[in-house]
Structure 1
């Protein structure tokens, strides 16, 4: 039995994930997830397809591996937390996700891979896009010889006033 899902398997895969019930998930169409994975050279396994369906079907969002694992569990998608981590890292390495670290202890995965910055809401442990596209850094440090800046991530931490 093959690990990959074709467009013709969409209905069967949805039924399998939901055990014959009405689909409880909302997500990106299976063929779109399939095309996204194949466009970056990732094989569209059932687990990648299901996680991609959960990830990309709700617009731009920020998730931790634990949050995606919880969504997958609620949706009856049979994956381990290790598989979720591996898939998120593969999607990040392939450019389909952007990794944003907060405090070095919490890592979020952003489905919006365009250049932008974030607010981190400390009270809610939530990452939110900064809407101002005109945010500009006016002075950059000198880059050591042999290196170039690949990306700048700014996270502005917010907390409720006391």
Structure 2
């Protein structure tokens, strides 16, 4: 039976892993093919960063988080290379880029249609299934433009004793 992966906000909406193995084995086998299929050359650094990104299922990372994980895993890579790799993965559709408040850019391994909770106290993101949010009105779109995607970020904070 294939293992499944979930995120905190999508419990119950489990998705089977493609290769039917433990996530780390699935990723180790498939990162090179995933890169080739997307048109990227599977270099050692891209494969190593891809394994770190995808081995834990759907997740949200910043370049700094991934760089720190790479250093702990003894993957010799500069922060600039991590940024470049994340942007390359985003350009070919392997990641989704989320700019929140303009101060921090997150990269999401879940590229399906969905939205996010931002837990302000912990500065972390959780997925919200796309069907769980209804956007009923979008302003008139300027001529010659089209909607690429609608991102909804619901900000959360812990209740205070007075709430």
Aligned length: 137
User: TM-score by structure 2 length?
Assistant: 0.80
- Consecutive unaligned residues in structure 1, runs of 5 or more: 1-25
Pick aligned residue for 1:90 from 88, 92, 102:
88
Aligned pairs for 1:51-70 within 5 A: 51-70=49-68
Which residue matches 2:113? 115
Aligned to 2:133: 135
Structure 2 unmatched ranges of 5 or more: 1-23
* TM-score (structure 1 length as normaliser): 0.81
User: Aligned residue for 2:70?
Assistant: 72
The Cα of 1:160 is off from its aligned counterpart by 1.1
Aligned counterpart for 1:45 among listed residues 34, 40, 43: 43
Runs of 4+ with deviation above 2 angstroms: 26-31, 131-134
Encode CA deviations 1:71-95: one digit per residue, 9 max, x unaligned.
Answer: 0000000000000000000000100
Aligned-pair RMSD on alpha carbons? 1.3
**Deviation of the 1:27 alpha carbon:** 6.2
